[in-house]
A and B are shown apart, each in its own frame.
Chain A
Amino acid sequence: DAKTTQPNSMESNEEEPVHLPCNHSTISGTDYIHWYRQLPSQGPEYVIHGLTSNVNNRMASLAIAEDRKSSTLILHRATLRDAAVYYCILRGFNTGKLIFGQGTTLQVKP
């Protein structure tokens, strides 16, 4: 499974946008880009996923680079409840497995 690279931690102010980057230079043509987040002592929560085009849903937006070697998760207005570990994961078309990296710990300051 292709690997992703994310910053260990990021900080944001409440009600400001947050851009969480992810590098995946070894992505293959059939890998989907998934984002999950995990609050302490809880299971991961699905955020968004995409293949080539940018995606929007009620939680976030996903901007995918044209060469697909990087992507950015965008939280449009961070709230204190968005403080979590955010995982960027490539899901292989054949295996379908989600292999978690270390993720980015997002802190949101009031």
Chain B
Amino acid sequence: GAVVSQHPSWVICKSGTSVKIECRSLDFQATTMFWYRQFPKQSLMLMATSNEGSKATYEQGVEKDKFLINHASLTLSTLTVTSAHPEDSSFYICSARELAGGVYNEQFFGPGTRLTVL
């Protein structure tokens, strides 16, 4: 199956700093990437959908100025948590879907990034 990677796998930062998380599709081109957040013992919550070359679409209640998403190429999307605070500590997971009509007509998930804000 297709592989989606994330970097870093975990990060610890001080309150008020910004953190960037990368999501890459390694063996396919992803026109659409999704970002999820998961708190302990809870399910995944969709934060935003990004299409290559256009602005991300955020789910209701997600602050677009706080969670900056860039999807500049068909294999890379980044999520920047700006001015992070302890309540932003969470498990962030990206997902990618291939071009329509491609080999993989499915959505694949990255391994996740554990963010801890002190």
Knowing that A44-B109, A45-B109 touch, tell me 11 more A-B residue pairs with CB under 8 angstroms. Answer: A36-B109, A41-B91, A41-B112, A42-B112, A43-B4, A44-B44, A96-B97, A97-B46, A98-B46, A98-B107, A100-B45
Nearest 4 interchain pairs by C-beta = A43-B109, A100-B44, A100-B43, A44-B109
SS of B interface (majority) = strand
Number of A-B residue pairs with CB-CB distance less than 8 Å in the complex they form? 46
* A49, B1: Cα distance in complex, Å: 14
- The minimal Cβ–Cβ distance linking A8 to chain B, given in whole angstroms, is 12
Pick the residue among A38, A41, A46 that contacts B107 (CB under 8 A). Answer: A46
The residue among A41, A43, A44, A91 with the most chain B CB atoms within 10 A of its own CB is A43
* A38, B1: Cα distance in complex, Å: 16
Chain A residues near B114 (CB, 8 Å)? 41
Chain A 63-99, CB-CB to B under 8 Å as 1, else 0, gives: 0000000000000000000000001000100001111
* A103, B44: Cα distance in complex, Å: 10
Pick the residue among B46, B106, B112 that contacts A43 (CB under 8 A). Answer: B112
Interfacial residues, chain A to chain B (CB-CB below 8 A): 36, 38, 41-46, 49, 87, 91, 96-103
* A1, B49: Cα distance in complex, Å: 15
SS of A interface (majority) = loop
User: What are 29 pairs between A and B in contact, CB < 8 Å?
Assistant: A38-B44, A41-B91, A41-B112, A41-B114, A42-B111, A43-B4, A43-B93, A43-B95, A43-B110, A43-B111, A43-B112, A44-B44, A44-B93, A44-B95, A45-B109, A46-B1, A46-B106, A46-B107, A49-B106, A91-B107, A96-B32, A97-B46, A97-B49, A98-B34, A100-B43, A100-B44, A100-B46, A102-B43, A103-B43
Query: Number of residues in B with C-beta < 8 Å to the partner?
Result: 23
Task: Report whether B43 and A101 are in contact in the complex, using a CB–CB cutoff of 8 Å.
Answer: yes
